[in-house]
Amino acid sequence: MSGFLLNRLVQSIVLLVIVSIIGFTVLNLMPGGPLAQFGLDPGMSQQDVQRLTAQLGLDRPLWIQYLDWAWRLVRGDWGHSFRDGSSVLAVIGRHLLATLLLMGTSTALAIAAGTWIGIRGATHRYSLFDYCATVGAMVALSVPTFWFGLIGIYIFTLKLGWVPAGNMYTIGDGSVPDYLHHLILPSLVLSLVHVAIWSRYMRTATLDALSQDFVKTARAKGVSERRILLKHVVGNALLPMITLAGMQLPSILTGALVTETVFTWPGMGRLFLDSLGYSDYPVVMGLLIFSAMLVLLGNLIADIVIATVDPRIRLA
Amino acid sequence: MTSAPQPVASEDVVLAVRDLTVSLPAGMERAHAVENVSFELRRGQILCIIGESGSGKSVTANAIMGLLPRSIRVSSGAIRLEGMDLVGRSPERLRDLRGRVVSMIFQDPLSALNPLMTVGAQIEEVMAAHGVGTPKSRRGRAMELLIEVGLPDPPLMYHQYPFRLSGGQRQRVMIAMALALEPTILIADEPTTALDVTTQAQILHLIRDIQRRKGMSVMFITHDFGVVAEIADSVVVMEKGHCVEQGSAEQVLKSPSHLYTRRLIAAVPHLTGKDRVPAEAAAPSPVLKVEGLVKTYRSGSALFGRQRIVPAVNGASFDLSPGRTLGVVGESGSGKSSLGRVLIKLLDSDSGSILFEGRDIARLSEAEFRPLRPKIQMIFQDPFASLNPRSTVGQILTVGPIAHGVPHKLACEQARELLAHVGLDAGTFDRYPHEFSGGQRQRIGIARALMFKPKLLIADEAVSALDVSIQAQILKLLDQVQRETGVSMVFITHDLRVASQICDEIAVMHRGQIVEHGPPSQIFLNPKSAYTRELVAAIPGAQQSSARSAGSQSTLAGHSHK
């Protein structure tokens, strides 16, 4: 196990370096830049802009800028936002909880509902339920999320008035019921597409497990169908799903660009869009590295979980 | 159907199947999986149900167990278990009987156990499912069972996961599960087909031993008359859903009355022990000369330790003359398939030389070897997986030669000729592989290999996936092809009986090494190495044959020619 972990750590570092180089390069290839917004500002002279450029270190060659940034990162300094000067980690911290709340809720919903729909679809294959689940998943996958968001707001906020249209809490309230009230619509909308994906995978995995010989063995032993499903089928069907869950993990913390924007949710997704708009390079790079680390971490956790639950890997 | 079973005292009959008809959903090849099948299983006896694929033998077993898929159902007839009719019983009632009164073991022990549960837990489950005993007593019983089926170190075995066990050990676990509640009947659906021949002999011995000790009745499904000769008390022969012959094992084996039974028995490859008459005198220079060939598999990471090194082929040396066939036999893991792949350079060897027509191909790069590729061709085991389902047979045959520069028209002409040659009609050319049976597909595979006019054919388990009667036809075709074209052949198989039919010489492989090499007469009648002796002794139906007349044909043929 330790050899495996060491191996993965080396791989992860190499990947992080590659991702950061690509991200840094692409970011700097974009026209404009952090100071472009001052170009038309009559209050800013050419000298002011040049002074600022030098102050931020943007006049140095790109590779020096990268090495400087990377070296600081290694020492734990993620840099400071161009916008308000606060440290990048603090900026991320301010948005992380909001995203965690939204994405955590919607992912939990999606996994619970997707697992149930998938298993039921497989055990009642070609039934009305299965057809509806299949068609529903197709619709959820092919219709863009923002459309669901807008339709949701139209129906449940404007017409029915059940839920608020956006934001995470009512200013001046901020009680737990208030948070939950704001959470309902965005988390449901977000979970739609994940339910679709998860239920399709779960259905396939369950069908696969159901067709295995050991299920027939269990039947021949006189084990009840219910126990066969719980003890023999679901366990084996969930194994391949762990990898999928691992891939889901990063998005729990990096948020959803579109949904957070539609519902003006103060999470990481919106932070990323805003920072891009302001050319706030340190924050954008910080988010990029943060999500790349999460992707690697998610995969690592999935592999470790699989290795723990599957005796073939644990003991091999 | 043909010969009705003699009526016996009813208390002697534990299972009686009467006029059983199982219908198939509309649109299948035939309307019934089995039709009007009747037989009886007597107390304390082993009844073998033998038939080729599609004969309905497994469907019959599943009908008895109440395990038929939803789309298939019993449409008429009766299945009486100790006087109680099982047809039409509620699923709950059948579930209660399964594992308690009737147990079943399956063909593939590698997939029949849940990979995520320990052996002990899986054995205990059958007792728990029927509410028998307490957790503690179940555990004790599981230990007893592990001892009973001859597994080593039961306390350790109890906590093992299936992946740690060999195929034979897993089948023993299956048997332990089946025996847990001392069932009246054990149904064994090809339980030894997926096992090596020595393991098969052990499992057959175990089943017979337990059956005698417990006075259990066993319904044993098989396609192998060798197995029937080993263990059966009585036999039911099935063909295309019908029961064509039944009687005592002695009677059916010695004087089969039905034409199909006779054909089936005649088709069983038997140990000839006779050397093949070569097509032509041996040429002075061998087509293939292999010396000190080594192939080692390495897995895991060398950087972080824990590397596994498996010597798959360890110093193999042999010659192969033009127009001759070398059989490479061995059990799974012996390295025989690796050897075949190294010879055709699908795998690179680590050391040693492969002189093909005097040139060492082991050291050639892929680019240097490519012009030689057409001269060495392969026939694969699985006729279903080895043909591209999206290409017509014509495309499959011509794509290779065209890639090597043969004009399209000429290639098509040759393909049509070859198809006729391997016994397929002219319409085959434009059809797709899925339209053909296993035997026909293997003919296509052979035609494909012959398109290049190869000097050397490597046949890796080329007849193993086929029914015995088809197997016999394909072996005959290969023999004919060799006599006509003078092609040399390396014939890799786990089945010594098949090897004895077609090979001029046989190399026995064990753990990567060729432990014995010689003509069939030596290998089968006068084996020099202990391993070969063990292997030959394990061949089902072999004991009777060697006792009878050494050198002549085996029991089965002996029976049928009396």
Calculate the average pLDDT of chain B: 86
This prediction has a pTM of 0.80
Kindly report the nearest CA distance between residue A119 and chain B, in angstroms: 18
Does A220 contact B304 at a Cβ distance shorter than 8 Å?
no
Of B125, B304, B305, the CB nearest to A223: B125
The Cα of A218 is separated from the nearest Cα of chain B by a number of Å equal to 8
Q: State whether residue B351 is helix, strand or coil.
A: strand
Q: Name the packing angle between helices B167-179 and B135-148 (round to 10°).
A: 130
pLDDT over 90 (residue A221): yes
For residue B9, the model assigns a pLDDT of 52
Q: Is A315 a residue whose pLDDT tops 80? A: no
**B41 φ, ψ (degrees, to nearest 5):** -110, 120
B23, B72 in Cβ contact below 8 A?
Answer: yes
A259 close to A149: Cβ distance less than 8 angstroms: yes
B10: pLDDT confidence band, cut at 50, 70 and 90?
Answer: low
- Quick check: B168 pLDDT over 80? yes
> Is A75 in the B-facing interface, judged by CB distances under 8 Å?
no
Q: Which residue has the higher pLDDT, B70 or A296?
A: A296
Q: What integer pLDDT is reported at residue B129 of this predicted model?
A: 94
CB distance B229 to B260 below 8 Å: no
* pLDDT reported for residue A280: 87
User: CB–CB of B114 and A236 under 8 A?
Assistant: yes
For residue B562, pLDDT over 60 is answered with no
Structure confidence by residue, pLDDT tens digits, B434-475? 888 888 888 999 999 999 899 999 998 888 878 888 888 889
Please answer yes or no on whether B126 and A310 come within 8 Å at the CB atom: no
User: Chain A residue closest to B159 (CA)?
Assistant: A311
Condensed to tens digits (0 to 9), the pLDDT of residues B340-349 reads 999 998 888 8
Q: Select from B54, B172, B184 the least CA-distant residue to B109.
A: B172
CA distance B351 to B202: 37
Tell me which of B23-37, B268-282, B339-353 is least confident: B268-282
Which residues in chain B are closer than 8 Å to A221, comparing Cβ atoms?
A: 98-99, 103, 125-126, 129, 177
Distance from CA of B225 to the nearest CA of A (A): 26
Q: What is the pLDDT of residue A218?
A: 95
Comparing CB atoms, the residue among A221, A222, A311 nearest residue B116 is A311
Residues of A in contact with B103 (CB under 8 A): 220-221
pLDDT at residue B431 greater than cutoff 60: yes
Q: Do A310 and B97 count as a contact with CB atoms less than 8 A apart?
A: no
Give residue-wise pLDDT tens across range B35-82.
999 999 999 999 999 988 888 898 999 999 988 888 888 999 999 998
- B534 or B303, greater pLDDT: B534
> B113 and A221: CB-CB below 8 Å?
no
Mean pLDDT, range B214-242, rounded to an integer: 92
User: What pLDDT score was predicted for residue B60?
Assistant: 93
Per the CB < 8 Å rule, is B163 touching A213?
A: no
- Which of A1-5, A192-196, A250-254, A295-299 has the weakest average pLDDT? A1-5
Q: Which of A122-131, A255-264, B395-404 has the lowest mean pLDDT?
A: A255-264
Greater confidence, B274 or B32? Answer: B32
pLDDT at site B3 = 47
Residues of chain B with Cβ-Cβ distance to A224 below 8 Å are: 95, 129
Size of interface A-B (CB pairs under 8 A): 90
Task: Write the CB contacts of A91 (distance below 8 Å, at least 6 apart in sequence).
Answer: A81, A271, A283, A286
Q: Do B112 and A213 touch (CB under 8 A)?
A: yes
Question: Which residues in chain B are closer than 8 Å to A213, comparing Cβ atoms?
Answer: 106, 108, 111-112
Q: What is the pLDDT of residues A238-283, one digit of tens each?
A: 998 998 888 887 877 777 888 888 888 898 989 998 898 888 888 9
Residue A41 vs residue B177, higher pLDDT: B177
The predicted structure's pLDDT at residue A278? 84
pLDDT of amino acid B144:
92
What percent of chain B has pLDDT above 70?
91
Of A218, A239, A311, the CB nearest to B161: A311
**Which of B423-427, B494-498, B547-551 bottoms out in mean pLDDT, i.e. has the lowest?**
B547-551
User: How would residue B496 be classed by pLDDT, with cut points 50, 70 and 90?
Assistant: confident
The answer to whether B95 contacts A222, with C-beta atoms less than 8 Å apart, is yes
Q: How many helices (H) and strands (E) does chain B have?
A: 21, 20
Give mean pLDDT, residues B139-162.
Answer: 91
Do A220 and B99 make contact, defined as CB atoms within 8 angstroms? yes
| pLDDT attached to residue B180 | 92
| Of A227, A231, A312, Cβ closest to residue B115 | A312
Contacts 24+ apart (CB under 8 A), B82-86: B82/B14, B82/B15, B82/B184, B83/B10
What are A189-214's pLDDT values in tens digits?
A: 989 988 999 999 999 999 999 999 99
Q: Report yes or no: B246 and B235 within 8 Å, Cβ to Cβ.
A: yes
- Alpha carbon B322 to chain centroid, angstroms: 30
Q: Which of A5, A207, A217, A315 to mutate to test the interface with B (most CBs of B within 10 A)?
A: A217
Residue A90: per-residue pLDDT: 92
Instruction: Identify the pLDDT of residue B550.
Output: 38
- Which site among A221, A233, A312 would you substitute to test the B interface, given the most B Cβ atoms closer than 10 Å to its Cβ? A221
Distance in angstroms (rounded) separating the CA atoms of residues B483 and B139: 62
Per-window interface: A 110-139 vs B, CB < 8 A: none
CB contact under 8 A, B114 and A232: yes
Q: Which amino acid is at A303?
A: D
Of A40 and B542, more confident:
A40
Quickly list DSSP for A157-187.
Answer: IIIS--S-SS-SS-TT---HHHHHHHHHHHH
Reply yes or no on whether the pLDDT at B177 is more than 90.
yes
What's the pLDDT band for B267 if we cut at 50, 70, 90?
Answer: confident
| pLDDT mean over B364-389 | 87
Contact assessment for residue B189 and residue B65, using Cβ atoms and an 8 Å cutoff: no
Residue B310 has what pLDDT?
A: 79
| Interface of chain B toward chain A, CB-CB under 8 angstroms | 65, 67, 95-100, 103-104, 106, 108, 111-117, 125-126, 129-130, 161, 163-164, 174, 177-178, 301, 303-306
The helix (run of H) or strand (run of E) holding residue B500 is helix B496-502
Measured between CA atoms, how close is B293 to chain A, in angstroms? 30
Instruction: Concatenate the DSSP letters of all residues of B385-446 into one string.
Output: TSS-TTS-HHHHHHHHHHHTT--HHHHHHHHHHHHHHTT--GGGGGS-GGGS-HHHHHHHHH
Q: Which residue of A has its CA nearest to B124?
A: A221
For residues B103 and B183, the answer to whether their CB atoms sit within 8 Å is: yes
Residue B1 in this model has a pLDDT that exceeds 60: no
Smallest Cβ–Cβ distance between A222 and the set B96, B113, B301 belongs to B96
Confidence band of B27 (pLDDT split at 50, 70, 90): confident
User: What is the spatial distance between Cα B301 and Cα A4, in angstroms, rounded to a whole number?
Assistant: 9
Which A residues, 161 through 200, put their C-beta within 8 Å of a C-beta on chain B? none
Distance (Å) from the alpha carbon of A275 to chain B's nearest alpha carbon:
42
* Cβ within 8 Å, pair A214-B112: yes
Residue contact A315–B161, C-beta within 8 A: yes
Whole-number average pLDDT of chain A: 88
User: Does pLDDT of B544 surpass 50?
Assistant: no
Percent of chain A scoring above 70 in pLDDT: 98
**A216 neighbourhood in chain B, CB within 8 Å:** 67, 106, 112
Residue of B nearest to A316 (CA): B164
CB of A158 less than 8 A from some CB of B: no
Helix (H, G, I), strand (E, B) or coil at A209: helix
Which candidate, B379, B384, B319, B336, places its Cα nearest to that of B493? Answer: B336
Say yes or no to pLDDT of B98 above 90. yes
Q: How far apart are CA A166 and CA A261, in angstroms?
A: 9
Confidence of residue A127 (pLDDT cuts 50, 70, 90): very high
pLDDT band at B289 (very low <50, low <70, confident <90, very high): very high
